[in-house]
Structure 1
Amino acid sequence: MTTLTLVKKTSFKVASLATTILLSICTPVRAFMFGTSGIQFDRDTNINFTFQTSHGGYQSSLWVAQADPDNNGYSSIARLFYEIQPSDNGSTNDWEGSFGTGVTSDNGSITQTFTFLRDQIYALLLWSDIGNGQPFGQYVSSSTFMNSPEWWDPSSGFRRDECLVAGCQQAVFGNFILDYSSNNSFTNINGGNGPEQYSAVTMTQLAAGIQISFDDAGGNDVDFQDFTLAAQLAPETTTQQAQPRPTSGDHRPGNVIQFDHSTAPGELPPGPVPEAVPEPVTVFGTILGIGALAGVRRKKKRGQQREK
């Protein structure tokens, strides 16, 4: 079992912890997210993932990873798709891989249905054999904060040294354009919208169907064309057959990613949000306002007493 651990504990953690606290104060509570901040639902939710295409010379596999209860790690619990060879036909069409030729799944289906358990935090991990014979040679995560030098894999010694502590965005979510015949940048192909514009989707978008595409960090092209799939909210009547439903303590063998929770921005309070909740900053402002009014009244009352 491969384990990713925190590389080092440095002074940045103090600033990071302060930033995390500040963000937790300023950010409304969220029970749903599907994007580069993580994947989380407020009820058990089935999502259909349909493979589209892969490109690039790496041989990769895509996994669903679930956060450990104490948020100190992520375990790869379900493999969605994997390449049985780097491409269909060598470097043809930028090392293109299609389902049934270069790519397959554990049950042979191009669509995999996975049940995300309520209030659990997940990420998608694209593991790659970078020519060293190790299927877990390196990874990119759909969660940006996991693509930082603070994470590493002691089995292969791999870590993302090229990214800042905040991490690099290696996946895009939504309805974007990919042009495999162009050398143009992702931003130019999408009319000036950069990857950051495709960092999260709403439940409405997910119900209609969206794309997810990864950049495996090979070649430093940041084209987000290396592994692409569609994702859509499955009908509630759908019976899950492709993957076993994950339960606490019942993970399939896979890769465990350990992370120091004091630097993880993905820790969210569990439970649904039945209605809009005012941001804490607004609440604090109201409290300060009430305090100011009370002070004015006390001052006025003291003045009246002196006049008597």
Structure 2
Amino acid sequence: MNTKFLSALTATAAATALFGAAAPAHAFSFGTNTIQFENDTQVIFNFRQSYGMFQSSLGIYGVSGGTPTFLKTLFSEVKSSDSGANNNWKGTLGNTVLGSGIATYTFLANQVYTLGLSSVWLDGSTQPTVYSSSGLNSGGSQQAVFGDPNVLLPLVIPAGDGAAFAGNAANFSSGSSLFNGGVAISFDDRGNGADADFQDFTVTAEAVPEPMTMTGLALGLGGLVAARRRRGSKTA
């Protein structure tokens, strides 16, 4: 390999790394403690599935002084399930939840947030909202699990009895991979005798890279292309 081209390639890689490191996008809290970011961060949520006879709605809440305040609905069921009690009251995209099944929200830097699942019984009465932040729930109970989609989704997508989380739900309390492949989040709505199956409402979430990171990548690729063109012109 031409030494000048190698030098250009090395410089390009260094510049890309520099720009990528200049604006790191990472959550310092995304789990059952709180949701909070160092920088303004856009997150894309995808509805995956629901179970149970409740008609539920998942939203974003701001938290101040330990009090949650509703900010935005992400997904809302138009009915409790696809076909009543069939298949464990299963709800899917295009039937129970309409639309694209995709929602975005920009979390502001250093603000505290939580996800909240509100539900309505078949008779129209309301079920107390459960939050992804355990400290906001009655008795401080854990009502949501966070984890790698490859690990968590197989535990909550098939209908089950909740045995997968018996005594170990606390192992699924952090979504540290939000910027690297995304995170699965699944709720238990306290229905069915508070069975703690954590499969009543399931979504995935992934953060959008910051513009500076993408700019660094573009500059790096641009430098590589320019170096190749210079090499080609000299050879000609």
Q: Same fold (TM over 0.5)?
A: yes
Judged with a 3 Å threshold, the aligned counterparts in structure 2 of structure 1 residues 184 and 132 are, in CA distance, closer, same or farther, namely closer
CA contact (8 A) 1:206 1:231 kept: no
1:32 Cα deviation after fit: 1.5
Partner of 1:225: 199
SS at match of 2:156: coil
CA distance in 1, matches of 2:52, 2:68: 26
Once the two structures are superposed, what CA deviation does each residue of 1:147-172 show, in whole Å capped at 9, x if it has no partner? Answer: 11xxxxxxxxxxxxxxx3xx100000
Judged with a 3 Å threshold, the aligned counterparts in structure 2 of structure 1 residues 147 and 234 are, in CA distance, closer, same or farther, namely same
Judged with a 3 Å threshold, the aligned counterparts in structure 2 of structure 1 residues 45 and 179 are, in CA distance, closer, same or farther, namely closer
1:92 Cα deviation after fit: 1.2
Unaligned runs of 5+ in 1: 1-30, 149-163, 238-308
| Amino acid in structure 2 at the alignment position of 1:172 | V
Which of these residues, 116, 119, 124, is aligned with residue 115 of structure 2?
124
The question of 1:32 aligning with 2:33 is answered: no
1:113 Cα deviation after fit: 1.0
SS at match of 1:37: coil
The question of 1:67 aligning with 2:67 is answered: no
Alignment of 1:94-113 (within 5 A): 94-104=88-98, 108-113=99-104
SS at match of 1:172: strand
The question of 1:185 aligning with 2:127 is answered: no
Aligned residues: 179
1:111 Cα deviation after fit: 1.1
1:179 Cα deviation after fit: 5.4
Once the two structures are superposed, what CA deviation does each residue of 1:29-84 show, in whole Å capped at 9, x if it has no partner? Answer: xx71000011000110011100000100000000000023xx25221110000110
CA distance in 1, matches of 2:181, 2:110: 23
Partner of 2:16: none
| Amino acid in structure 1 at the alignment position of 2:141 | C
Unaligned runs of 5+ in 2: 1-26, 212-236
Partner of 1:171: 144
**TM score, norm. by length of structure 1:** 0.55
CA contact (8 A) 2:115 2:132 kept: yes
CA distance in 1, matches of 2:184, 2:146: 6
CA distance in 2, matches of 1:79, 1:226: 17
CA contact (8 A) 1:49 1:113 kept: yes
CA contact (8 A) 2:63 2:69 kept: yes
Where is the helix percentage greater, Structure 1 or Structure 2?
2
Partner of 2:181: 208
SS at match of 1:208: coil
| Amino acid in structure 2 at the alignment position of 1:99 | L
Judged with a 3 Å threshold, the aligned counterparts in structure 2 of structure 1 residues 57 and 32 are, in CA distance, closer, same or farther, namely same
Alignment of 1:284-303 (within 5 A): none
Alignment of 1:11-50 (within 5 A): 32-50=28-46
| Amino acid in structure 2 at the alignment position of 1:211 | A
CA distance in 2, matches of 1:184, 1:143: 20
CA distance in 2, matches of 1:184, 1:110: 25
| Amino acid in structure 2 at the alignment position of 1:65 | Y
CA contact (8 A) 2:160 2:197 kept: no
CA distance in 2, matches of 1:182, 1:66: 32
CA distance in 2, matches of 1:77, 1:184: 31
Judged with a 3 Å threshold, the aligned counterparts in structure 2 of structure 1 residues 59 and 98 are, in CA distance, closer, same or farther, namely same
Judged with a 3 Å threshold, the aligned counterparts in structure 2 of structure 1 residues 37 and 178 are, in CA distance, closer, same or farther, namely same
